Amino acid sequence: MNDLLFELPLPEFFDFGVCLDYLNRSPLECLYRTDQEGVTRYFNLDNHPVLVRLTVPKGGQLRVTLLYGETPGPEAVAWLARYIREWFDLDRDLAPFYRLAEADPLLGPLTEQHRGLRIVGIPDLFEALCWAILGQQVNLAFAYRLKQQLTAAYGESLEYEGHMYYEFPRPEVFADVQQEELCALQLTRSKARTVLDVAALIASGGLSREELLALPSPDAAEQRLLQIRGIGPWTSQYVRMRCLDDTTALPVGDVGLQNAVKFLTGMDRKPTPAELLKLAEPWRGWEAYATFYLWRALY
């Protein structure tokens, strides 16, 4: 099966190959498979497992084809199209960011090297929060391993042509899970507790992406997230950046951002949060994109 579901128009300053390079940064990624031509991912649509593939034929639009599963209905197709637009930030006009970056000694070379890179989002709030929680105070490789183990244990899966494809676990599946079960997957007790608290909150309707986006400002959304035990400024800023479409998010406590600035500026130490805030003043309105491009200097 290789049925066309739909095509999406592509904005200016979008390079699918550059975005695929970002998606391919870890061999431990478990939620999709990339190759030189596209990315394949599992979704549950209309309560049916489907496998979809995204490609961009030369000079064409973003093509979404169905590899496996029942053809979804119109509402599910509309949901998938919206998800993909948010995944690759396709509705964003990057021209202002590139104009800003051209005059910036740090960002200029990075935007030339990775031109067309979009913030690759995490449109699902539970997945975004979990990924941020798992990444607290560990290196990227170990965070990926934790996500892989959590997803394999609790997510739905599908085998197709010799490969396993997974969907990130849904919050409701953790209703009867105990902390010890998550600790057995190498989560710390505090991370296990926070994952379970967030799962219960989202499953009960006490927290949603829609609610956060409806708040008056990104700062208000952050304050809402900070009310959750185990969610600190770094985690909330990360979620603002990757899930809430906030281009002003600046995770000054992020070790990767600190290391990138140290490396690119030749500093003999990591910059302080105050120094990062000062450095970011010319990036106003585009702090999240600046951060995303600076991360690319590290891998």
- Domains of the chain, with CATH numbers? 3-92 (3.30.310.20), 94-115+244-299 (1.10.1670.40), 125-242 (1.10.340.30)
4 bridge partner residues:
65
Rg from Cα positions in the chain:
19
pLDDT at 59: 77
d(CA 116, CA 104): 17
First-last CA distance in the chain = 36
Q: Helices 287-295 and 233-242 sit at what angle, rounded to 10 degrees?
A: 100
- For residue 217, name the pLDDT band (cuts at 50, 70, 90): very high
206 and 172 in contact (C-beta within 8 Å)?
Answer: no
Q: Which residues of 150-189 are buried (b: 16+ CB within 10 A; e: fewer)?
A: bbeebbbebeeeeeebbbbbbbeebeebebeebeebebbe
C-alpha count within 13 angstroms, C-beta hemisphere, residue 52 = 25
* Residue whose structure tokens are 């995944």: 87
- Average predicted confidence (pLDDT) for the chain: 95
Token representation of residue 245: 């479409």
pLDDT in tens, 239-285: 999 999 999 999 999 999 999 999 999 999 999 999 999 999 999 99
7 and 102 in contact (C-beta within 8 Å)?
Answer: no
pLDDT in tens, 97-144: 999 999 999 999 999 999 999 999 999 999 999 999 999 988 889 999
Look up 245 and say whether it is catalytic: no
- Out of 89, 124, 245, 254, the active site residue is 254
* Rounded (10°) CA dihedral 30, 31, 33, 37: -150
